[in-house]
């Protein structure tokens, strides 16, 4: 039935597409090529849907197997529409999720052809009738008699003023999608269970809602339960695991108590189809049996956040029971109270992003060097961490693929607020026997902040942006000393260390007394140099004039260095005369030059 409606709608669109486009575009621009382009797009839509119908006929209307979900088939056709430029990718978030849009003209045209039956309408719209399927609201919280005519509504989008009441659940029993974003909802009515056809329920960015009704378990067709931003939710309802169709559950809250309506981590066992991202919150409340596994069979789960909001004693046992499938790509662990990470961490071979934040007791991490797919590592507020790796450098290198490189895919590394961090490896690194420390071959962005004791780590010859704040300058100096090196991965190439560096930000580096001439050897790409609160820095290299790409220089609260630029004419000295913009600030004295 749904397919018939879809093909009927598109058929109507294609019949009127070119003539309507000609009229609209001709009036607006009079450009024949725009009409031709739209005509080709119409043909593309027809071809794609024709392929879909042929495929459906070839399958003799057989239902999809358990391994071939409807979404996966639809995704293939969606990618085809993107490839043919019917849909355009507008942005991508930090998790790699993309946002797509349809051209405004095509959208308006589709709404025009679809008419009242398929259009999206507002509350006061006069064209709301019993055939209206998609309804959204502007600012009113009242339902109104006009809307009650639309008993066949499939999608309902409420605003922040709306509350779910009995009228909604009684009149609109055909609802498939129900969305409330940023609303003031305090609770869902028990009658929500009457919406037997509901596939997707979004209660997003709501800080007031604290519990979900047990009647939610009556929604056996529910595929999406999105509670993103509902951080005050007390728990998940007991029996949630019986919603076997559920695929998208971005937030799962572990309850404080074990009441009759409080679901624990065991509810995840029944949710075999979970995919996408999952954030498990309040793990300090979790009660687990040793040896339990809750996520290991979720092979379509791509992003996982595990968060403890309060400290507890059983963190290690809980984390061990939350081992994900090796297909996981993004892992974030927040507030973990254990003294060591679980052994399963290095087994997630497809992991591309790892974020560890707010650990109070963890001194060492599991070896990460075998996670060859890692592109992003962020370590923040690991108070007790002494070494990133619990092994010694030679042992780690021997067990890896190379004796000169680590993390062949790593592009971004951030280490922040790790006051006890001494080095990357356990034990002392003998520089005499190891004159060349291993390198990050592809690292482009490196940030190290508030790690005053960090003196040893892999070198970073390929970095393009480097930010150092309240840490040792030793790793930077060691990287500068490198000669021309051969990079073994991802492809063989020769590199001058730091020749790609464009932005350098140095702040509160107390062991930095001068920037030697070797500082200039390879910095041919440097565009911006910022130096702040380096109290012991006395001079810049004599050959600064050779940094021909440098256009911005900022020196703030560096009293020894600022003495060299006390007069306005000092900014024109040959060493820095070529720099377009200069800011030198010491106490209340400001010297600037903006442009030539």
Give the pLDDT of residue 554: 93
382 domain-assigned: no
For residue 575, CA distances in Å to 40, 62, 360, 511 come to 60, 76, 47, 24
| Whole-number CA gyration radius for the chain | 30
433 domain-assigned: no
Place of tokens 């509670």: 227
d(Cα 135, Cα 120) in Å, to the nearest integer? 6
pLDDT in tens, 173-192: 888 998 887 777 778 888 88
Among 525, 414, 524, CA closest to 471: 414
CA 326 to chain centre: 19
Give the pLDDT of residue 429: 60
Among 195, 233, 235, CA closest to 216: 195
Chunked mean pLDDT (size 10), the chain, 596 residues: 44 46 44 50 53 53 52 77 75 64 73 60 56 64 59 74 62 84 78 90 86 91 92 90 94 84 90 94 89 92 94 84 95 94 90 95 85 95 90 63 75 96 77 64 96 92 95 89 60 72 95 79 90 90 86 91 72 77 78 61
Q: Are residues 97 and 161 in the same domain?
A: no
Give the pLDDT of residue 126: 55
Q: Are residues 582 and 509 in the same domain?
A: yes
Q: Are residues 145 and 216 in the same domain?
A: yes
Give the pLDDT of residue 21: 43
198 domain-assigned: yes
Give the pLDDT of residue 41: 53
Give the pLDDT of residue 534: 93
Q: Which of 62, 81, 114 is the last residue of a domain?
A: 114
Among 330, 323, 311, CA closest to 250: 330
For residue 303, CA distances in Å to 204, 270, 278, 344 come to 18, 19, 6, 16
d(Cα 421, Cα 453) in Å, to the nearest integer? 6
Pairing of strands 120-121, 98-102: unpaired
105 domain-assigned: yes
Domain count, the chain: 3
Give the pLDDT of residue 13: 47
439 close to 485: Cβ distance less than 8 angstroms: yes
Q: Which two tokens stand for residue 565?
A: 């630029």
Q: What is the dihedral of CA 104, 107, 108, 111, to 10 degrees?
A: -170
Q: Are residues 87 and 132 in the same domain?
A: no
d(Cα 229, Cα 247) in Å, to the nearest integer? 19
Largest CA distance in the chain: 85
Q: Which of 207, 233, 259 is the last residue of a domain?
A: 233
Q: Are residues 226 and 129 in the same domain?
A: yes
7 domain-assigned: no
Q: Which of 62, 95, 114 is the last residue of a domain?
A: 114
Q: Are residues 150 and 177 in the same domain?
A: yes
Q: Are residues 76 and 175 in the same domain?
A: no
d(Cα 174, Cα 351) in Å, to the nearest integer? 41
Q: Are residues 109 and 158 in the same domain?
A: no
144 close to 167: Cβ distance less than 8 angstroms: no
199 domain-assigned: yes
Q: Which two tokens stand for residue 309?
A: 């909001």
Q: Are residues 129 and 208 in the same domain?
A: yes
What is the residue range of 81's domain? 72-114
Q: Which two tokens stand for residue 391?
A: 């092994």
497 close to 482: Cβ distance less than 8 angstroms: yes
Give the pLDDT of residue 140: 52
21 domain-assigned: no
Q: Are residues 90 and 132 in the same domain?
A: no
Q: Are residues 134 and 109 in the same domain?
A: no
Q: Are residues 574 and 534 in the same domain?
A: yes
pLDDT in tens, 566-585: 666 566 577 788 888 988 88
Give the pLDDT of residue 77: 78
Looking at residue 212, the DSSP 8-state letter turns out to be: -
Give the pLDDT of residue 477: 86
41 domain-assigned: no
């Amino acid at each position: 039935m749904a397919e018939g409606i879809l093909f009927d709608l598109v058929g109507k669109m294609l019949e009127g597409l070119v003539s309507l486009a000609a009229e609209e575009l001709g009036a607006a621009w009079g450009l024949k090529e725009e009409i031709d382009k739209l005509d080709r797009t119409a043909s593309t839509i027809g071809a794609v849907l024709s392929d879909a119908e042929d495929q459906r006929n070839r399958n003799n209307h057989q239902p999809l197997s358990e391994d071939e979900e409807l979404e996966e088939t639809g995704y293939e056709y969606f990618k085809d529409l993107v490839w043919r430029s019917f849909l355009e990718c507008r942005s991508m978030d930090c998790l790699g999720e993309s946002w797509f849009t349809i051209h405004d003209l095509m959208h308006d045209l589709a709404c025009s052809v679809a008419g009242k039956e398929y259009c999206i309408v507002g509350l006061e719209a006069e064209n709301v009738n019993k055939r209206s399927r998609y309804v959204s609201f502007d600012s009113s919280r009242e339902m109104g008699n006009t809307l009650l005519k639309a008993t066949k509504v499939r999608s309902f989008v409420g605003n922040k003023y709306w509350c779910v009441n009995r009228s909604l659940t009684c009149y609109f029993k055909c609802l498939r999608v129900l969305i409330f974003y940023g609303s003031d909802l305090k609770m869902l009515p028990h009658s929500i269970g009457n919406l037997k056809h509901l596939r997707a329920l979004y209660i997003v960015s709501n800080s007031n809602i604290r519990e979900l009704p047990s009647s939610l378990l009556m929604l056996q067709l529910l595929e999406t339960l999105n509670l993103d931003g509902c951080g005050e939710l007390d728990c998940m309802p007991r029996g949630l695991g019986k919603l076997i169709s559920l695929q998208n559950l971005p937030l799962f809250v572990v309850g404080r108590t074990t009441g009759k309506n409080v679901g624990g981590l065991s509810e995840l066992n029944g949710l075999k189809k979970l995919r996408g991202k999952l954030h498990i919150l309040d793990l300090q409340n979790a009660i687990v049996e040793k040896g339990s596994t809750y996520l290991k069979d979720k092979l379509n789960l791509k992003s996982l956040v595990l968060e403890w909001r309060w400290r507890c004693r059983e963190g290690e046992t809980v984390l061990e029971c939350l081992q994900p499938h090796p297909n996981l790509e993004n892992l974030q662990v927040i507030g973990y109270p254990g003294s060591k990470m679980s052994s399963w961490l290095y087994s997630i071979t497809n992991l591309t992003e790892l974020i560890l934040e707010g650990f109070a007791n963890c001194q060492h991490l599991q070896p990460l060097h075998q996670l060859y797919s890692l592109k992003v590592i962020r370590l923040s507020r690991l108070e007790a961490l002494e070494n990133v790796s619990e092994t010694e450098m030679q042992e780690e290198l021997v067990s890896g693929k190379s004796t000169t490189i680590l993390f062949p895919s790593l592009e971004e590394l951030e280490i922040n607020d790790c006051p006890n961090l001494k080095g990357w490896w356990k034990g002392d690194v003998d520089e005499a026997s190891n004159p060349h420390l291993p390198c990050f071959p592809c690292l482009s962005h490196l940030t190290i902040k508030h790690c005053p004791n960090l003196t040893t780590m892999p070198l970073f010859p390929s970095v393009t942006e480097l930010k150092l704040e309240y840490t040792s300058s030793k790793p930077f100096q060691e990287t500068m000393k490198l000669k021309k090196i051969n990079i073994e991965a991802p492809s063989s190439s020769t590199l001058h260390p730091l020749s790609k560096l464009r932005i350098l930000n140095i702040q509160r580096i107390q062991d930095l007394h001068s920037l030697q001439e070797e500082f200039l050897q390879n910095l041919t790409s440097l565009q911006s140099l910022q130096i702040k609160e380096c109290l012991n820095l006395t001079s810049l290299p004599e050959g600064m004039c050779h940094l021909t790409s440098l256009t911005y220089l900022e020196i703030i609260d560096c009293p020894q260095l600022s003495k060299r630029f006390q007069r306005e004419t000092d900014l024109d000295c040959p060493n820095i005369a070529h720099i377009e913009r200069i800011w030198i600030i010491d106490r209340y004295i400001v010297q600037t030059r903006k442009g030539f």
